[in-house]
Chain A
Amino acid sequence: MSAQQAESDAGRVATTTRKPLNPLLVLSAQVAVFVIVMGLWQGLAEADVLDPFFFSRPTAIVAQIWKWVATGFIWPHLATTLVEALMAFVIGTAFGVGAGLALARVELLARVFDPYIRILNALPRVILGPIFILWFGLGIASKVALAVTLVFFIVFFNTFQGIREVDPVVLNNARMLQASERQLLRYVYLPSAMAWIFSSLHTSIGFALVGAVVGEYLGAARGIGYVVAQAEGVFDTTGVFAGLILTSAVVLLIDLGINRLERYLLRWRPGN
């Protein structure tokens, strides 16, 4: 078979007898779910079944977000939160990949640190918030520290697992071709662990943001978490919901970016 032939045949592939779902159907069902939930919320709030004081209403939330955006009030807060999350993400990922590599490659380290890592990971991180504020102050550092404790473990466990699951045949082949330890790392271990590391990035980017927001909520002068805490202080339910929705929207956007990066970097896998 020639390369050209294979190329021209690529568009004419067989499908299995099970009919694939119509993407349009999926999309319209998704829109329907959104409309029904929001409509119910709005309707019940209008009819005073749900007390708007406790539950707010979708139109008010959208108006609030729009006001924040239009007046420019939200941008410095959003920027602060994003900087914190990004720093935590980078630091946590770097340490997570480093520690995962070290422990997966050196049996002694893995055995020694295993119980301690379990203990640390079992700590409820929110409790660490006040301690970090004591240590690092009310500024950005305490939020970054809190988010790092969340990101690190996710990336660490996934890297560790990914390195441990390297195909021994592929590894032996590289060794027979006289790869040095460093070359094994670069050519075999890291690419092989990449799929695991990526699946951890999806989770950890969310956790980085959650860590930052919770840190701000516990004590800060700016940031989305601070805005939510302020709104809560004056029983402004609409403001609390608006802050929450803004946070998830940002996470969703970043996640889409990671998806694209992942598709490119893992293009060697079957099905990509």
Chain B
Amino acid sequence: MTTSASPAVAFEDVTIRFRAPRGGVHTVLQHVSLEVRDGTFLAIVGPSGCGKSTLLNVAAGLLTPPEGRAVIFGKPLDGINKHASYLFQQDALLPWRTVLDNVMLGLAFRNAPRAEAEAQARGFIERVGLRGFEDRFPHQLSGGMRKRVAVAQSWIVGPRILLMDEPFGALDVQTRQIMENELLDLWQESRQTVLFITHDLEEAVALADRVVLISAGPGARIKGDYEVPLPRPRDVAEIRLNPDFMQLYKRIWSDLRDEVRHSYEAGNR
């Protein structure tokens, strides 16, 4: 994949406010500016409720900020981001379609010929290890298998940007590590730009080239920006034993800890 000279995703002075349920205005993000180079695996970490997902929705074009803007490959974003796929934390598959139909969905929406789309979908289903499950409905699969279907579904359309909102948050620890490694293997081949939201710092450092730390809300800002110069290809279980990993983890954690405490105390007030 050729890399673009302009950043894949750029947030320019983005501020997000919501109308609070009891009147008044709740500011989620304040003056967030961030540039993500094409081909970078970026992890965004921060305490829960800080507005990480909101930022991702801005990049997806699902949410238009009242101030500031998102710029995708040099063009201001207007409407849905057509370069991006989105991997949600919750189940987002169509429950009334089979695994095969779900994986084909993006191609069907683009009016691709059925036979071609099906062949491609079967290939992706095999790549995520679900051969033999093509005709199952999502409720007949385990959580990890459904996540694999979602990965295939978002990958098949050949997105240049992958947006992931705590995609493995609901999985158990073992399944999660397997999925993280599979994700890295897939990514290693195509090297798209990834924006990966997580509250788990270990996951962030293990996966990413760069980690951005968002402060506790309300009015969250970018608090830290760290390069992760660890070697690739990586194995998420092994990389955690690397001394550089541990050093980097400690450094970011000391910044994150304060924010988590702030957000915890704000929640208890």
Residues of A within 8 A of B (CB): 2-4, 169-170, 172-180, 183, 187-188, 191-192, 194, 267-270
Contact = CB atoms under 8 A, between A and B. Distances in A.
Contacts of A270: 139
A169 B137 contact: no
B171 interface: no
A179 B104 CA distance: 12
Interface of B: 60, 62, 80-82, 84-86, 88, 90-97, 105-106, 108-110, 132-133, 137-139, 153-154, 157
A169 B95 CA distance: 12
A176 B60 contact: yes
15 contacts: A172-B60, A176-B60, A176-B85, A176-B154, A177-B85, A177-B154, A178-B80, A178-B109, A187-B94, A187-B105, A267-B137, A268-B97, A268-B137, A268-B138, A270-B139
A183 to B, nearest CB: 5
Contacts of B96: 191-192, 194, 268
| Closest 7 pairs between A and B when the two form their complex, measured CB to CB | A3-B132, A173-B92, A177-B106, A270-B139, A176-B86, A268-B96, A268-B137
B95 A268 contact: yes
Given A172-B62, A177-B105, A177-B106, A269 B88 contact: no
A176 B91 CA distance: 14
Contacts of B157: 177-178
A186 B155 CA distance: 23
Nearest to A183: B109
Given A170-B94, A177-B157, A2 B106 contact: no
Contacts of A188: 94
Given A3-B132, A268-B139, A173 B109 contact: no
Contacts of A183: 108-109
Nearest to A271: B139
A172 B95 contact: no
Given A188-B94, A268-B137, A175 B132 contact: no
Contacts of B154: 176-177
Nearest to B60: A176
B95 A173 contact: no
A171 to B, nearest CB: 9
B139 A172 contact: no
Where chain B touches its partner, the secondary structure class is loop
Given A175-B80, A187-B108, A194-B96, 9 more contacts: A3-B133, A172-B86, A174-B94, A176-B81, A177-B157, A178-B82, A183-B108, A268-B138, A270-B139
A193 to B, nearest CB: 11
Given A169-B92, A269-B95, A176 B84 contact: yes
Contact of A176 (B80, B132, B133): B80
Contacts of A4: 132
Given A3-B132, A172-B88, A179 B109 contact: yes
A270 B84 CA distance: 31
Nearest to B81: A176
B94 to A, nearest CB: 6
B92 A178 contact: no
Contacts of B86: 172-173, 176
A264 to B, nearest CB: 12
Nearest to A190: B96
B90 A2 contact: no
Contact of B105 (A174, A180, A191): A174
A185 B38 CA distance: 34
B62 A176 contact: yes
Contacts of B80: 175-176, 178
A206 B180 CA distance: 54
B88 A169 contact: yes
Nearest to A173: B92
Nearest to A184: B109
Given A176-B80, A177-B85, A170 B92 contact: yes
B132 A269 contact: no
A269 B95 CA distance: 7
Nearest to B156: A177
Contacts of A2: 132
B183 to A, nearest CB: 18
A16 B187 CA distance: 43
Contacts of A192: 96
Contacts of B137: 267-268
Contacts of B109: 174, 177-180, 183, 187
Nearest to B159: A176
A14 B78 CA distance: 52
